[in-house]
Amino acid sequence: MPPETILAGPLLDYVELFEGMSGFLQPLIWNANVRMLRVQSLMGDAAFCDCDVVTVGSYATAAGTRLRSVGRVTAPLVLERAHNEWRVVDYALNGRRVLRTIRLYDSGAAVHVGGGVTLQPRALELAT
């Protein structure tokens, strides 16, 4: 399922960056086990939900290394309605609100970080 069918806003931009890494990281399988999903409140075009979802993904790097990620999505799950369709705009993953931990950057100036390494970050995920 393409991310734009279920995501919106900065969260969609963040996920699309990973899709752009197809030369480095190839998704092999991704599953979501929805244990519970309940709408708590509606406010105009926003829905606030309680949820319990376990996600499992397997990936391969260009070097052939296999990676596995397991995550737990919990409340608050925030949905936004646009054009009569609902999209996810925020959620908690492993206890951290996604929109509070990601930072997106325009492709701006490169930053020298030391040791002869220069980075031009497009996104950061903060460990909080």
Question: What are the tens digits of pLDDT across the range 78-112?
Answer: 999 988 999 999 999 999 998 888 888 776 678 77
Q: Which residues contact 116 (CB under 8 A, 6 or more apart)?
A: none
- What is the reported pLDDT for 12? 83
CATH, residue 36: 3.10.450
Query: 20-74: per-residue pLDDT in tens?
Result: 666 677 778 888 899 999 999 999 999 999 999 999 989 888 888 999 999 999 9
State how many domains the chain has: 1
**Residue-number span of the structural domain to which 59 is assigned:** 3-99
Q: Which residues contact 18 (CB under 8 A, 6 or more apart)?
A: 25
10 in a domain, yes or no? yes
66 in a domain, yes or no? yes
Distance, CA of 18 to CA of 11 (rounded, Å)? 11
95 in a domain, yes or no? yes
107 in a domain, yes or no? no
111 in a domain, yes or no? no
119 in a domain, yes or no? no
Distance, CA of 72 to CA of 49 (rounded, Å)? 15
67 in a domain, yes or no? yes
